Amino acid sequence: MNVEILIEKLQSLVEQHPEAKDLPIRVIEDADYDEEGDSKGNYWMSFDSDFEVSFTGQSGHELYGEVRLIGRL
């Protein structure tokens, strides 16, 4: 993952769905620390699986849509 890919994905999203430009972005993590209390490692992102969008009006997002970037080790 790099910035160029992020920009391309976001530009494509806004071209297809102009309302997406006004959505907040939320990064989802399971937890910051492992079971022993140690801090987890860095997250790397792959947009084939770590990029999700829910538009306003969809189930569970009746009032507000969102773009989700999902962090994975």
Q: State the pLDDT at residue 34.
A: 81
Segments forming the whole domain that contains residue 56: 3-70
Q: What total of structural domains would you count in the chain?
A: 1
pLDDT tier, 1 (very low <50, low <70, confident <90, very high otherwise)? low
pLDDT at 72 over 70: no
Q: What angle do CA 43, 45, 67 make, to 5 degrees?
A: 110
Q: State the pLDDT at residue 17.
A: 96
pTM (predicted TM-score): 0.57
pLDDT tens digit sequence for 14-56: 999 999 998 877 766 677 788 898 887 767 777 677 888 999 9
